[in-house]
Structure 1
Amino acid sequence: MLRKTKFIQRFHQAFQATALNASLKGYSDPVVWLPLCCSGHTLVRGTSSSGAPSGSRTPTPAAAAASTSISGSTDETPLSVFARQREKLAAMPLYPKLLGFAGAIPFTTLTPAFVQQAGFPDIIDLCAQMQLVYGGSIVSFLGAVHWGLAMSSSTVAAAGSKAAGALNERYVWSVVPSLGVVPALMMQPAQGSLAITVLLGICYLSDASYFRSGYLPSWYMSLRGYLTLLAIASMLSTTAYYLKRDVEKAKKLIEEEDAKRAARLEARAVDASIAAVASAAVPPDAAAPWGRMRK
Structure 2
Amino acid sequence: MHHAPLFSGYGKEVSPAFLDDGRRITTRFAGLTLSTVFQPLFRRDGQAPPAHEALLRVVEPDGSPLAPLEAFARLNRLGHAVAFDRLCRLLHVLNFVRQSDGDGSLFLNVNGAHVLGLIAGEHGSFIGTLLTRHGLDPARVVLEIVEDRIDDLARLEAAVRGYRRRGLRIAIDDFGARHSNFDRLWMLNPDVVKLDRTLIVQATANPQARRVLPRLIEIIHELGAEVVCEGIETAEQHAIALDAGADLLQGFLLASPTDRLQRIGPV
Query: Normalization by structure 1: what TM-score?
Result: 0.18
* Structure with the higher fraction of residues in strand conformation: 2
TM-score (norm 2): 0.19
Q: Which has the larger radius of gyration?
A: 1
